[in-house]
């Protein structure tokens, strides 16, 4: 049973397209995150949701929009994809946003061509 699952694992798409990455956690956690790992392996937090409410929204382009239909799901929708969006995107969850470790999904490797 995968605790945090992301789909798809790989995504290759053309510039200008709109795509979504899905994330689901079956741990009953209250907080979910989206991270972007760039080519230098830095993990940058993009969004954080706690009980369906956005609590962190770092400086990311408006083309990125998180959607959380319920606290077990946090999807990432990206409009008008650009070459610079190519990266590995990680979803994670934690019991609460403070003082607890995060459980990560396997990552989605996005390549924009």
Partner 1 sequence: SQELEQSPQSLIVQEGKNLTINCTSSKTLYGLYWYKQKYGEGLIFLMMLQKGGEEKSHEKITAKLDEKKQQSSLHITASQPSHAGIYLCGADAQHDKIIFGKGTRLHILP
Contact residues toward partner 1 (CB under 8 A) are 33, 35, 37, 41-45, 48, 56, 58, 88, 90, 97-104, 106-107, 109
Cα 110 to Cα 10: distance, rounded to the nearest angstrom: 6
- Give Cα separations from 3 to 29, 32, 59 (angstroms): 10, 12, 28
Q: Closer to partner 1 at the Cβ: 15 or 55?
A: 55
Q: Closer to partner 1 at the Cβ: 80 or 102?
A: 102
Least distance between partner 1 and beta carbon 43 (Å): 5
DSSP line for 42-93: -EEEEEEEETTEEEEE-S--TTEEEEEEETTEEEEEE-S--GGG-EEEEEEE
Q: Closer to partner 1 at the Cβ: 79 or 86?
A: 86
Least distance between partner 1 and beta carbon 38 (Å): 10
Q: Closer to partner 1 at the Cβ: 44 or 63?
A: 44
């Amino acid at each position: 049973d995968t605790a945090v699952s992301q789909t798809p694992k790989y995504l290759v798409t053309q510039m200008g397209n709109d795509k979504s990455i899905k994330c689901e956690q079956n741990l009953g956690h209250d907080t979910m995150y989206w991270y972007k790992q760039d080519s230098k392996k830095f993990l940058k937090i993009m969004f954080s949701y706690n009980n369906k409410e956005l609590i962190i929204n770092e400086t990311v382009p408006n083309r990125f929009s998180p959607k959380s239909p319920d606290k077990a799901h946090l999807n990432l929708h990206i409009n008008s994809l650009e070459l610079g969006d190519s990266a590995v995107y990680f979803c994670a969850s934690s019991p609460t946003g403070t003082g607890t470790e995060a459980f990560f999904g396997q990552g989605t490797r996005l390549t924009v061509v």
